[in-house]
Amino acid sequence: MTTSFLRRTPSVLWFLGALALFTLTVTLLSEGYGTGTIPTSFVKTLGMTLCLCLVAMAMDLIWGYTGILSLGHMAFFALGGYMLGMWLMYARTEIIVVQALASSPLPPTPQEIRDGVAVQIFGVVGGSELPWIWALAHSFWAQMALVVLVPGLIALIFGWLAFRSRVTGVYLSILTQAMTLALALWLFQNDTGLRGNNGLSGLQNLPGLDAVPQSVMSMWFFWASAAGLGLGYLLCAWVVSGKFGSVLKAIRDDEARVRFLGYAVEHYKLFVFTVTAVIAGLAGALYYPQAGIINPGELAPIASIYLAVWVAIGGRGRLYGAVIGAAFVSLVSSWFTGGRAPDVNLGFYTIRWVDWWLIVLGLSFVAVTIFAPKGLGGLIDLIERRRTPNRHGADLGPSKGSFREGEAAAE
């Protein structure tokens, strides 16, 4: 069974090989474990990029394979970050509080420690009590479980309501945007218990490991992110390789027909929506310790739209396409917006990339959509000499998320 899986999806070995090579190269050039050619801050950027690739793959599963244009998956990503961030912040603050109380004559009670932690964390928003959502924050395993459960349950409930009423196409996309916006607005409030617009910070430090320099720690997270992406690719490739993938593509192109074959389309949509939300949550939990900070701005509706843009530019309906798109666009984007791209002086006007990058990105998105629907992943088809079918402009099915002529490849 395993051998036939690899034979059917040769891209898996290529992908894992390339990822391993990349990880090794970065390790050998890192400050923590190698020559120091790559600065620690860039190692973090690369590690974060791997996490974005992981969430882009989840997006490809839900949009590229199942045809559901969810514009809310970055909310699940951020929620995963918040859940792990709570533990990171609590555990580190707890150590500081215990040290501070160590000088007092009597050993501190657990209640005193909790109160101390609460004051430290919630002083900024004028609180001194630990909100109920922090009840499990002292436990790493409990918060790890929440990384999976919170995005998973929200996706399950939202998806159940939406798919049951057969909301599709643009309406579903708008609903997911509304969900993202509602979550962001809720988190912006101080009394939500997640420090309002301050968000959670200091996440780059693992509790009790103050002695470990960031150059080393950043590599640990980089490896974890690479492992996460590799495992995620294996899982997604396995899911889409067999009949399950066949059903998903069928739903994407003609969901009514799938129903008449006896498949409960809604159950499949709900399953994929929930699983991809969980993958997004896990990716977020790996991302935010490298970013160091998370705030409600991360749930801005635009973030989820970017995610769709990455997948479109990479080429939807092929997992490596999503990875290439996310890596390429997010790295180029951080180059342009980070002030590293040189300004272009036209004499009468100076193009500052910080201002112009979004316009370039928007135009590239339009160009790819119109002229190269297969995206960057389509370059692989050029190498493999796979043809695009000539369907005289007809889509591959009547469903709203169906493949367009240019996205398909003939065998």
Partner 1 sequence: MTGMNALLEVSGVSVTFDGFRAINNLSFSIAERELRAIIGPNGAGKTTFMDIVTGKTRPDEGKVLWGEKSRSLLGMSEAEIAKAGVGRKFQRPTVFEDQTVQENLLLALRNPRGPLSVLFWRPTKADLARVDELAQEIGLADQLPRKSGELSHGQKQWLEIGMLLAQEPRLLLVDEPAAGMTLGEREHTTTLLKEAARTRAVVVVEHDMDFIRRLDCKVTVLHEGSVLAEGTLDHITKNPQVIEVYLGR
Contacts with partner 1, residue ranges (CB under 8 A): 1, 4, 239, 242-244, 246-247, 249-250, 253-254, 256-257, 259-265, 267-268, 271, 389, 391, 396-397, 403, 408, 410-411
**Whether the Cβ atoms of residue 76 and residue 280 lie closer than 8 Å to each other:** yes
Nearer to partner 1, 102 or 410 (CB): 410
Task: Kindly tell me which of 331 and 396 has the beta carbon lying closer to partner 1.
Answer: 396
CA distances to 120, 251, 350, 355 from 328, rounded to whole Å, are 40, 29, 25, 19
User: Would you give the distance in Å from CA 143 to the centre of its chain?
Assistant: 18
Burial 3-41 (b: 16+ CB within 10 A, else e): eeeeeebeebeebbeebeeebeebbebbbbbeeeebebe
CA angle at residue 108 from 105 to 111, to 5 degrees?
150
Q: What's the one-letter identity of residue 166? A: R
Instruction: Give least dist CB 243 to partner 1, A.
Output: 5
Q: Measured from the CB atom, is 80 or 401 closer to partner 1?
A: 401
Query: In a 3-state reduction of DSSP, which class is residue 350?
Result: strand
Nearer to partner 1, 44 or 252 (CB): 252
Distance in Å, CB of 4 to partner 1, minimum? 8
Nearest approach in angstroms of CB 133 to partner 1 is 31
Indicate the SS3 state at residue 372. coil
**CA–CA distance, 5 with 52 (Å, rounded to integer):** 26
In the bound state with partner 1, the residue whose beta carbon lies nearer, of 88 and 408, is: 408
Q: How far is the CB of 259 from partner 1 (least distance, A)?
A: 4
Task: Indicate the residue type of 336.
Answer: F
Report the distance separating Cα 396 and Cα 304, nearest Å.
26
Question: Closer to partner 1 at the Cβ: 207 or 242?
Answer: 242
Q: Closest distance between partner 1 and the C-beta of residue 156, in Å?
A: 13
Cβ nearer to partner 1, comparing 257 with 328: 257
Question: Least separation, in Å, of the C-beta of 312 and partner 1?
Answer: 17
3-state class (DSSP) for residue 309: helix
Q: Output the smallest distance, CB 225 to partner 1, in A.
A: 26
CA distance 386 to 146: 44
Specify the 3-state DSSP secondary structure of 138. coil
Amino acid at 50: L
In angstroms, give the least distance from the CB of 388 to partner 1: 11
**Residue 31 near residue 38, CB atoms below 8 Å:** yes
The single-letter DSSP state of residue 411 is -
Residue 259 or 352: the one with the smaller Cβ distance to partner 1 is 259
Q: Which residue lies nearer to partner 1 by CB, 91 or 408? A: 408
Residue owning tokens 């916006």 = 181
CB of 158 to partner 1, least distance (A): 18
